[in-house]
Chain A
Amino acid sequence: MSISCSRRVGGSAGRRVASFVAATILLAATARAQAAKPATAPEGPGKTLYVKWCSGCHGDGGAGDGYAASYMIPRPRDLTLGNFYIRSTKTGDVPTDADLRRTITDGFPGTAMSGWKTALSTAQIDTLVQYVKKFSPFFSGPAPTVLAAGPEPAPNSEGLVEGRRVYEQLKCFECHGQKGYGDGTSVPTLMDDQKMPIFSADLSKNWTFRGGPTVADIYRGFRTGLNGTPMPAYTAEANNVNDEQLWRLAQYVRSLAPAAPPDTSSMIHATMKMDGPLPATPDDKAWDEVPAHYVPLGGQVAIKPRWFTPSIDGVWVQAMYDMKKLALKLTWHDASRSPDTTFAPWIKKVVETLDHADPPPITAQGPDRIAITFPVKIAADSLRPFFLGGNSVRSAYVWRWSSSPDTAEEGTTRGLARFTPLAAKNGLGHSARYQDGEWQLQFTRALLPVDSTTAPTFGGDLPVPVAFFAADGSNGEIGMRGSMSGWYTIMIHMMGATQ
């Protein structure tokens, strides 16, 4: 990592340092006056727009300190520093107008920086592009150099092998992990230039990339680096590779993600196992035949304590059954097997960053957790419990798992935090594996419960409603802090067997 870090200063760093010195002198002269009064938005066209739409996060002075800023990680960009993630220019350089226009128009997926194309007109966005540049003296320097890119070679299977080799040669895995799931060994120490904790990207989810999902976007991303983050810039000269190899790397990284973002229907289709018993472990080959359904998760902010900065953004769900049992497999990416002591400083940073967080305070690092909510009875009237394990109106039936100690239990809940283990146990089986930044967890239960008044029957005529909750202990997620989904349905087709 140290090697990559020193490399990212290459390129136009000289000019950058020079302009920084100039700016410091300039700023020092006015520092006293500025410190005295609160920053105000600079005059000029776009001020009204900026104050109305942007300053709540980016602050009147553009320093990323608006009133809403402490509710989010990543924090709003400090526009005065001239550090921009998404650029077509050399590392250390400011972005071009086109780059800024693209960022403001499309936003960054999954962050508070939403795209503005629906709320603002193109003319308004253009005005804002010019206005945003007023915050930083770096824009007044010479126009930034746009990086030249060679042609992309046609993709082929040898190219992917070569791309993988370059991935290892350039040590991308130190931050992004062996399989690209964002679990590199450096992750616990990663910080952006505002000293905020930052995850490396999960390369298997290209739809979360700030700069765009395509091979060309990825190529541009590591050629330019993401200024202000630990993500370095790579050049052919400095890294002893040629341009074609860098394209191969981009093609390889693209291949880690599915061809299209996963479909987000609410139905999870269960597969009937025709031959032999259901698998006992989540890494059984039999699971390869079963379609995986992607369930996106968002921070749990529906009830207190709310959690605005979740780490798990989705889980793949598979369902398999035979005449006796139902098995569910959950697969999700998590940078650590919690509790993980290397993440102690990380949690400390998260806690410091969220100064407004709901009580109780986060004191210790918890385990990784999953909770699956079902209705107690699956009925045609479609009355359901609240998706977070029910509430005082209607209780729910929940499977919950924790990584340390590795246990799973079933219970009746009035909200996930109010869990009563089931007296008539239905022999809920489970098996969990953690490898390369990925959890795989299998639950197995009989279709018919011991007592059908306390637990649902699976495989009747009706689809099974389910809702998911996941927590990453190393991100400070204890109690109700974590990620949630709404109600999904598992379709079990017994082909007349139980009807």
Chain B
Amino acid sequence: MTASPARDPSSNRELSFQQPGTGSDPPVPLSGRAEETGEPRVFLWTVLTLLAVYASLRFVVPWISLWLGTSQIPVPVPRFAIGLYMLCAVIGALVYVNSDARRWRLFLGPVVRLFALPRERIRWPQAVVFGAIPLVIGALAWNRVMPSSQPPAQLRMQHPTMPQKYVSLENPFRKLPEAERQKAEAEGVILYQKNCRPCHGTSADGNGPLARGLRLRPVNFTDPGTIATVVEPYVFWRVKEGGIGLPAIGTPWESAMPAWSDLTDDEIWKVVMATYALAGKEPRKPEGASP
């Protein structure tokens, strides 16, 4: 592209370009700010559109497959595919902008203003952009070659919906007279200390001696975000079916939480009650009749 520099009437320092072959169009003063000339901000809108495309590829598309039910967990768009889509989007945007000479010049305006070097002094936006270019390229190259320090994100939901058949269950021991309830709870504590302690810790803080090998840590029940936020049948379900009983959104493949098939239902209710007691927490109250 050859262009002939022209004097900008509003400022002595700035330049404007005229595209060859578009001589019939009235030249748009490139340095004229859109807001000043009342023209649309083509450059800004192009950049914003491209950012929006990128954001939806990164953050929206992964959840679509989940909503559509084609996958049980959000599927991130591979980096390669994102690159391809973005390339298409950039080409599309350029074709659109270039299809009209006036639009093209409006688009180029901010770019030219930034890069056109004044003779007297360098303005700070120029300094920043020129300084940043090598840094950005360096960072991109570094990122490509150097291992990132973050493990690839695994999306996981700690409390997915419980299966329907558990929803209306009730802990039979909660309704007993206090003395009998306490006896059941004490039996539950024994079951807890034998079976759950190695992972969930003696005081239910998730720090059992066998927890150290696990990436997905045994739950710290004293944390208010865990069993205190769910109803008792929910915990019953988790103990009965363990990690393997979780839907894919709960990443069952990394949960070491056993399915307690060798405890009877009564024993599970006792251990559930004991777990709340050891953690000093109350189960969430079921809402109305059907929790």
> Smallest CB–CB gap between B213 and chain A, Å?
3
A259 contacts chain B at the CB level, 8 A cutoff: no
Q: Are B257 and A302 touching (Cβ within 8 A)?
A: yes
Q: A493-B147, A495-B145 are in contact. Are A298 and B258 (CB under 8 A)?
A: no
What is the minimal beta-carbon distance from A116 to any residue of chain B, in angstroms? 7
B257 touches A298 (CB 8 A): no
A114 and B212 within 8 A (CB): no
**Contact present for B147 and A267 (CB under 8 Å):** yes
Query: Among the listed A56, A301, A393, A394, which residue makes an inter-chain contact with B198, where contact means beta carbons less than 8 Å apart?
Result: A301
What's the nearest-Cβ distance from chain A to residue B152, in Å?
A: 5
The count of chain A contact residues (Cβ–Cβ below 8 Å) is 57
Selected contact of A298 from candidates B201, B211, B262, CB within 8 Å: B211
Interface string of B136-163 (1 = CB under 8 A from A): 0000000011111111101100000000
B210-A299 in contact (CB<8A): yes
- Interface flags, A254-272, vs B, CB<8A=1, else 0: 0000000000011101000
The 8 Å CB contact of A67, one of B146, B193, B253, is B193
CB distance from B137 to the nearest CB of A (A): 16
B203 within 8 Å of A (CB atoms): yes
Q: Is the CB of A110 within 8 A of B209?
A: yes
Are B209 and A486 in contact, with the CB atoms below 8 A? no
* Cross-chain contact B76 with A380 (CB below 8 angstroms): yes
- A71, A381, A384, A483: which has the most chain B beta carbons within 10 Å? A381
Note all chain A residues with C-beta closer than 8 A to B127: none
Q: A residues within 8 A CB of B209?
A: 110-112, 114, 298
Q: How would you classify the secondary structure of chain A's contact residues: helix, strand, loop or mixed?
A: loop
**Contacting pair A486 B213 (CB below 8 A):** yes
Interface residues of A in 290-309 (CB under 8 A from B): 295-299, 301-304, 306, 308
A20 touches B (CB below 8 Å): no
Please tell me if B80 contacts chain A, counting CB pairs below 8 Å: yes
Most chain B CB atoms below 10 A, which of A383, A493, A496: A383
A209 at the interface (CB under 8 A from B): no
Across-interface contacts of B71 in A (CB, < 8 A): 381
CB of A488 within 8 A of chain B? yes
Evaluate whether A383 and B201 lie within 8 angstroms (CB atoms) in the complex, with A56-B189, A296-B212, A486-B216 already known: no
| Inter-subunit contact A485/B75 (CB<8 Å) | no
Cα-based distance from A110 to B79 in the complex (angstroms):
41
A266 touches B215 (CB 8 A): yes
What is the CB-to-nearest-CB distance from A4 to chain B, in angstroms, rounded to a whole number?
29
A residues less than 8 Å from B213 (CB atoms): 295-299, 483-486
- In Å, the complex CA distance between A489 and B158 comes to 21
Q: Which of B98-151 contact A (CB under 8 A)?
A: 144-151
* Cβ contact within 8 Å between B208 and A114: yes
Interface footprint category on B: 35 or more
Q: Which residues on B sit within 8 Å (CB–CB) of A487?
A: 215-216, 253-254
In the bound complex, do residue B215 and residue A486 qualify as a contact, i.e. CB atoms below 8 Å apart?
Answer: yes
Are B253 and A114 in contact, CB atoms less than 8 angstroms apart?
A: no
Which of B144, B197, B222 counts the most chain A CB atoms within 10 A? B197
Specify which of B144, B149, B251, B253 lies most central, judged by the most chain A CB atoms within 10 Å of its CB.
B253
- The residue among B190, B243, B252 with the most chain A CB atoms within 10 A of its own CB is B252
**Nearest chain A CB to B36 CB, angstrom units:** 45
Task: Tell me how far the C-beta of A146 lies from the nearest C-beta in chain B, rounded to whole angstroms.
Answer: 30
Q: Known contacts A118-B203, A266-B151; is A68 also within 8 Å of B216 by CB?
A: no
Question: Which of B144, B154, B198, B216 counts the most A-chain CB atoms under 10 A from its CB?
Answer: B198
Given contacts A298-B212, A486-B216, A499-B80, contact A381 B194 (CB under 8 A): no
- How far is B145's CA from A269's CA once the two chains are assembled, in angstroms? 12
How far in angstroms is the closest Cβ of chain A from B93? 25
**Does B48 sit within 8 A of A, measured CB to CB?**
no
CB of B80 within 8 A of CB of A56, answer no
- In contact, B214 and A383 (Cβ under 8 angstroms): no
- Name the residue of chain A whose CB is nearest to the CB of B253: A384
Chain B 66-88: CB-based contact to A (< 8 A → 1; otherwise 0)? 00000111011011100000000
B212 touches A383 (CB 8 A): no
**Can you list 25 contacts pairing A with B, beta carbon distance less than 8 Å?**
A56-B189, A56-B202, A68-B193, A112-B202, A114-B201, A118-B205, A119-B202, A119-B205, A266-B151, A267-B147, A267-B149, A296-B212, A297-B212, A298-B209, A301-B258, A308-B210, A383-B72, A383-B73, A384-B254, A386-B252, A393-B244, A461-B80, A484-B213, A486-B256, A489-B152
Interface residues of B (CB under 8 A from A): 71-73, 75-76, 78-80, 144-152, 154-155, 189-190, 193-194, 197-199, 201-203, 205, 207-216, 222, 243-244, 248, 251-254, 256-258, 262
Known: A298-B211, A496-B144. 5 other contacts (CB 8 A): A110-B212, A114-B202, A306-B258, A483-B213, A491-B147
Lowest 9 A-B CB distances belong to which pairs? A298-B213, A486-B215, A119-B203, A298-B210, A302-B256, A384-B253, A68-B193, A297-B213, A56-B193
